[in-house]
Structure 1
Amino acid sequence: MKFSYTILYVKDVTQAIAFYERAFGLKQRFIDESKQYAEMDTGGTALAFATNEFANANLPQGFQENSLSKLPAGIEIGFVTEDVAAAFEQAVAAGAVEVAAPQVKPWGQTVGYIRDLDGILIELGSPI
């Protein structure tokens, strides 16, 4: 078994791509013609986006949509960077919502939390 990808369900895939490019410097790897699914170039494991409508079509019993008006889901995605404070400020300037400013944790790692435009929780952390 090999971990291959994470799909984030969002309202608007093209908006999510633009945000992740501005906030984190990622580049789009693929987007389908319908603009309901896309992948970012992140290395070995893909970070993908699919519209809520696409997810509903695949999940007949529905799911809890991500939203800034609700508490974040019990999952986060994480990015590692040498300069957490600068990455945090760049993401907030791109439209991310601050959850917890970067701080040094007892184990020595600097960690900050933000939420993206759809309310998905993101950790920015220094290498461990």
Structure 2
Amino acid sequence: MIAHFILYVRDQKTSTEFYTKVLQMAPTLDVPGMTEFQINEHCILGLMPEAGIKNLLGEKLPDPTAGSGVPRAEIYLLLQGASEYYERALAFGAVDLSAVAARDWGDTVGYSMDADGHVLAFAQRTSPFYGK
């Protein structure tokens, strides 16, 4: 199984530039209406313009622009170097929500928010007891 997580964004080009810089990876797909980043072999992060999904699915779908800027999703990336990713996100325009710190579930995590209101959590496992 490959999981595709697609975020609806106001400006595909701006969001693509942001995620390219923060993730330090080039998109595997970048065409009008969709950008994709291969996070790992089982996960793809997609960016689709808000207007694009509305055109695709029509009137049954509530207008995504009505929720633009309101936190609607969180991307929780478990990786090495969480602090570096967090700082890079802030350097490229993300809003600081909560500095990198040890959390009570066993991860060290920093939270920021992109221009569309998506929460970005950059985490690394710090507890050897996680999941026990």
Provide the TM-score with structure 2 as the length reference: 0.82
In structure 2, which of residues 74, 77, 80 is the aligned counterpart of residue 79 of structure 1? 77
Give the aligned CA root-mean-square deviation in angstroms.
1.8
Paired positions, count: 122
SS at match of 1:41: strand
- 2:92 aligned with 1:91: no
CA contact (8 A) 1:17 1:40 kept: no
SS at match of 1:26: coil
CA contact (8 A) 1:28 1:38 kept: yes
Q: Which has the higher helix share?
A: 2
CA distance in 2: counterparts of 1:92 and 1:120, whole angstroms: 14
1:67 alignment partner in structure 2 = 68
1:7 alignment partner in structure 2 = 6
CA contact (8 A) 1:81 1:87 kept: no
SS at match of 1:7: strand
Equivalent residues in 2 for 1:1-128 (5 A)? 2-32=1-31, 35-43=32-40, 44-57=42-55, 58-61=57-60, 62-65=62-65, 66-68=67-69, 70=70, 72-73=71-72, 75-127=73-125
Provide the TM-score with structure 1 as the length reference: 0.84
Q: CA deviation at 1:59?
A: 4.2
Q: CA deviation at 1:31?
A: 1.9
* Unpaired runs of at least 5, structure 2: none
SS at match of 2:13: helix
CA contact (8 A) 2:8 2:64 kept: no
Deviations 1:32-70 (A, max 9, x none): 2xx1111112122111111111111114232443533x3
Deviations 1:70-109 (A, max 9, x none): 3x12x31111222222221111001111111111012331
* Unpaired runs of at least 5, structure 1: none
CA contact (8 A) 2:78 2:124 kept: yes
**Residue identity matched to 2:106:** G
Change (3 A) 1:86 1:51: same
